[in-house]
A and B are shown apart, each in its own frame.
Chain A
Amino acid sequence: MLALFALLAYGLASNEPDAAIEESLARGEREPAPPLRLPRLSGGGHVELADYRGRVVVLNFWASWCEPCRVESPLLQRWHERISRRDGTVLGVDVLDVSSDAREFVREHGLTYPMLRDRDGGSQSDFGVVAYPETVVIDANGRIAAIQRGPVDDAWMREHVAPLLRDPA
Chain B
Amino acid sequence: MKRIALVVAATLALASPAAAQCPKTTLGDIEDEVMCPVCGTPLSLATEAPQAERQRELIQRLIADCRSKEQIKTALVAEFGEGVLALPDDEGFDLAAYVVPAIAAIVVAGALGFAALRWRRRPRAVPAPPAGARARLDEDMDRYDL
A, B bound: yes
A contact residues vs B (CB 8 Å cutoff): 7, 10-11, 14-15, 63-67, 96-101, 119-122
Q: Is the CB of A63 within 8 A of B93?
A: no
Interface SS of chain A: helix, strand, loop or mixed?
loop
Sample (30) of A-B pairs whose CB atoms are under 8 Å apart: A7-B93, A7-B96, A7-B100, A11-B93, A11-B96, A63-B38, A63-B51, A64-B54, A65-B50, A65-B51, A65-B53, A66-B50, A67-B50, A96-B37, A96-B38, A96-B51, A97-B51, A97-B54, A98-B58, A98-B79, A99-B79, A101-B54, A119-B78, A119-B80, A119-B81, A120-B37, A120-B81, A120-B82, A121-B37, A121-B81
Q: Is the CB of A10 within 8 A of B53?
A: no
> Once bound together, how far apart are the Cα atoms of A14 and B94, in whole Å?
11
B28 close to chain A: CB less than 8 A: no
Nearest A-chain residue to B84, judged by Cβ: A120
Set of chain A residues within 8 Å of B58, measured between Cβ atoms: 98, 100
Interface SS of chain B: helix, strand, loop or mixed?
helix
> Once bound together, how far apart are the Cα atoms of A66 and B58, in whole Å?
17
**Min CB distance, A125 to chain B, in Å?**
10
Q: Is the CB of A14 within 8 A of B53?
A: no
Task: Classify chain B's interface size.
Answer: 10 to 19
B92 close to chain A: CB less than 8 A: yes
**Min CB distance, B30 to chain A, in Å?**
15
> Once bound together, how far apart are the Cα atoms of A63 and B51, in whole Å?
9
Set of chain B residues within 8 Å of A120, measured between Cβ atoms: 37, 80-83
> Once bound together, how far apart are the Cα atoms of A14 and B100, in whole Å?
18
Nearest B-chain residue to A101, judged by Cβ: B54
**Min CB distance, A99 to chain B, in Å?**
6
Set of chain B residues within 8 Å of A7, measured between Cβ atoms: 93, 96, 100
